[in-house]
Amino acid sequence: MHLGHVAVCDARGRLVAWAGDPSRAVFARSSMKPLQATVSLSAIGDLALSDVEVAVMCASHNGEPVHIRAVRRVLKRAGLDADALRNPPGYPLDPDTMATARRQRRELQNCSGKHAGMLLACVRAGWDPATYLRASHPLQRRITRAVSRATGRTHLTMGVDGCGVPVHGMPLRSMATLFARLARPERLGDLAPFADHAVRAMRAQPYLVAGKERLDTDLMTACPDVVAKEGAEALSCAAVLPSGLGVAVKIEDGGWRATGPALIHALRQIDALTDAQVSALAAHAAPPVRGGGRRVGEMAAVFALQRR
């Protein structure tokens, strides 16, 4: 059994539904990437970037060839190559691609698209591209201000993410508010056109955001009105565009296999998904449990959202 927490908020920051503790403290991890990409785009100042390039800037990608080509396109715009990336080297998340990887490389690591976008932002804005990981760097200071605006919080706990950039800590409901404001980007002031570009790119190119057999890609493919972004330690968030709601799910023990059932179950309860869409997402909504080489059960989310 995995215990979890769910928060559903609107763009005004009001908690409209929840399960468990919606104020559970979390680090945003990779669920922050759409907003980080928004800030990078604002520094780049170029709304002509393709959806492919912007989507990979928002991605925790599989490291498949299509993802690596997109990362290299962003770097080429900056006049840089993969040696400029400061994320740690890694292997592809996709098992088939991993089988052909001879060594760990920076562009193969799942955060390389975000880092490529940050490098392009530095080059275009005239900031030092060698030090963009530092919390004191102009780009990271801009991102922190944007996080405060998107969450409504003046106090953020700061740490270092797995890929080396600053990571922001806050209550789960603040992450739900952030995603509600991605669904209603006018709440983000002068960042609105860039947030709209990031959301539009994720909807147009969901495969670039994650890849084969990944929750984010499959959810956005099945339901283009939902924009989803997973983070490490079993955090998963979604923006529901028609309703302007944001959803944030955190599994207490960090067990990632429970995030799909929990997020899909929460989205169904707020009418963001139809029964047919849930059925199409069965591999994530009710992933099989296997024993002795055969299916012996399935994961299932059984909570009921409370509402005000």
Q: Give residue 19's identity as a one-letter amino acid code.
A: A
pLDDT at 48 (0 to 100): 86
Instruction: Give start and end residues of each alpha helix (H) in the chain.
Output: 33-44, 51-57, 65-78, 95-98, 112-125, 138-151, 172-183, 192-204, 206-209, 215-222, 259-269, 275-280, 282-285
pLDDT at 101 (0 to 100): 86
Q: What angle do CA 168, 169, 174 make, to 5 degrees?
A: 100
Contact by Cβ (8 Å): 207, 65: no
| β pairing state of 4-9 and 15-19 | antiparallel
What residues are paired with 153 via a beta bridge?
Answer: none
Give the whole-angstrom CA distance, residue 240 versus residue 59.
Answer: 18
Give the whole-angstrom CA distance, residue 33 versus residue 224.
Answer: 19
Give the whole-angstrom CA distance, residue 193 versus residue 180.
Answer: 16
Work out whether the CA dihedral 95, 96, 97, 102 comes out positive or negative: positive
Q: In whole angstroms, how large is the CA radius of gyration of the chain?
A: 18
Which residue from 135, 99, 132 is spatially nearest to 114, judged by alpha carbons? Answer: 132
pLDDT at 1 (0 to 100): 62
Give the whole-angstrom CA distance, residue 87 versus residue 308.
Answer: 42
For every residue of 51-112, which 3-state class applies, written as one string? HHHHHHHCCCCCCCHHHHHHHHHHHHHHCCCHHHCCCCCECCCCHHHHCCCCCCEHHHCCCH
Give the whole-angstrom CA distance, residue 257 versus residue 286.
Answer: 10
Q: What is the CATH number of domain 4-307?
A: 3.40.710
Give the whole-angstrom CA distance, residue 174 versus residue 12.
Answer: 11
Which residue from 176, 201, 154 is spatially nearest to 34, judged by alpha carbons? Answer: 201
pLDDT at 305 (0 to 100): 98
Residue owning tokens 């944030």: 248
Which residue from 94, 114, 103 is spatially nearest to 37, judged by alpha carbons? Answer: 114
Other CB atoms within a 10 A radius of the CB of residue 149 amount to 17
Which residue from 137, 37, 122 is spatially nearest to 78, judged by alpha carbons? Answer: 122
List the pLDDT tens digit at each of the 308 positions of the chain.
678 999 999 999 999 999 999 999 999 999 999 999 999 999 999 788 999 999 999 999 999 999 999 999 999 999 999 999 999 999 999 999 998 888 999 999 999 999 999 999 999 999 999 999 999 999 999 999 999 999 999 999 999 999 999 999 999 999 999 999 999 999 999 999 999 999 999 999 999 999 999 999 999 999 999 999 999 999 999 999 999 999 999 999 998 899 999 999 999 999 999 999 999 999 999 999 999 999 999 989 999 999 97
DSSP 241: T
Which residue from 79, 51, 91 is spatially nearest to 227, judged by alpha carbons? Answer: 51
